[in-house]
């Protein structure tokens, strides 16, 4: 039994690694390709001596995660620079600080891919993998990128709780589940901070996105995000910390 379980784990890690490579090599959306590469060339003054990633950004975390966190897209000078989702910007600091308080991350900060950050029982992803102009991907770009989140949902078989950071992530997760014939319960499944619905054998929770627009205005406070993560840990089971 232990050998069989180990083989399943190894196969999952290999599949996730292959998916990461597919995502990082993607050039399916010409507008996004042009924007992410332009940003990587021109850079922000504060990062002028750094080499930007400038490619699509894969998900990141524990392959055996029971909690999946879904955001919108990489930031132009965050994930698009560092190559890791929610890494190198204030949104990421807010999120990973909360994950650390919840016992799901080994450190509260995230500055670059080699900074030692590790997630336990959590995996962080996005609905769109390239930094979009004005942080607004088009409908076509969102739908083109959907296959990557769908594949992650298939590969992360232990996930029991999904947290949507923002209304679009909420809608996209529900769209994927409905396409599989799994409508949410109860309905209507309206987004809101702390909203909770059941889809398939998983629970979807809503949270405001940790963007500066929300955190600087107090629309999303550390206590509010902590409460959502605490609920996620509770729903994911006693081994989720």
Using alpha carbons, select from 62, 63, 51, 167 the residue that is nearest to residue 112.
Answer: 51
- Report pLDDT for 183: 83
pLDDT per position as a tens digit, 32-79? 999 999 999 999 999 999 999 999 999 999 999 999 999 999 999 999
Contacts of 48 (CB under 8 A, 6+ apart): none
Say if residue 108's pLDDT is above 70. yes
Residue 8 pLDDT grade (very low, low, confident, very high; cuts 50, 70, 90): confident
Q: List pLDDT tens digits, range 193-214.
A: 999 999 988 999 999 999 999 9
Mean pLDDT for 166-194 is: 91
Q: Which helix (H) or strand (E) holds 68?
A: strand 67-71
Cis upstream peptide for 186 (omega within 30°): yes
pLDDT at 238 over 80: no
What is the pLDDT of the chain when averaged over all its residues? Answer: 94
């Amino acid at each position: 039994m232990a050998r069989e379980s180990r083989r399943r784990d190894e196969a999952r890690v290999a599949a996730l690694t292959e998916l990461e490579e597919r995502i990082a090599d993607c050039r399916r959306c010409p507008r996004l390709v042009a924007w992410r590469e332009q940003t990587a060339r021109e850079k922000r003054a504060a990062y002028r001596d750094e080499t930007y990633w400038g490619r699509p950004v894969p998900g990141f975390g524990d392959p055996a995660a029971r909690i999946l966190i879904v955001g919108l897209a990489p930031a132009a000078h965050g994930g698009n620079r560092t190559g890791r989702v929610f890494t190198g910007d204030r949104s990421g600091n807010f999120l990973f600080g909360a994950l650390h308080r919840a016992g799901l991350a080994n450190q509260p900060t995230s500055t670059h891919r080699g900074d030692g950050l590790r997630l336990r029982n959590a995996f962080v992803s996005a609905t769109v993998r390239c930094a979009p102009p004005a942080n607004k991907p088009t409908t076509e770009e969102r739908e083109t990128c959907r296959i990557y989140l769908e594949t992650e949902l298939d590969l992360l078989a232990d996930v029991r709780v999904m947290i949507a950071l923002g209304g679009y992530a909420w809608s996209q997760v529900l769209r994927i589940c409905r396409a599989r014939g799994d409508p949410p319960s109860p309905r209507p499944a309206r987004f809101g901070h702390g909203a909770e619905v059941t889809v398939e054998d998983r629970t979807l929770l809503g949270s405001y996105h940790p963007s500066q627009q929300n955190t600087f205005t107090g629309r999303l406070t550390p206590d509010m995000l902590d409460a959502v993560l605490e609920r996620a840990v509770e729903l994911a089971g006693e081994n989720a910390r």
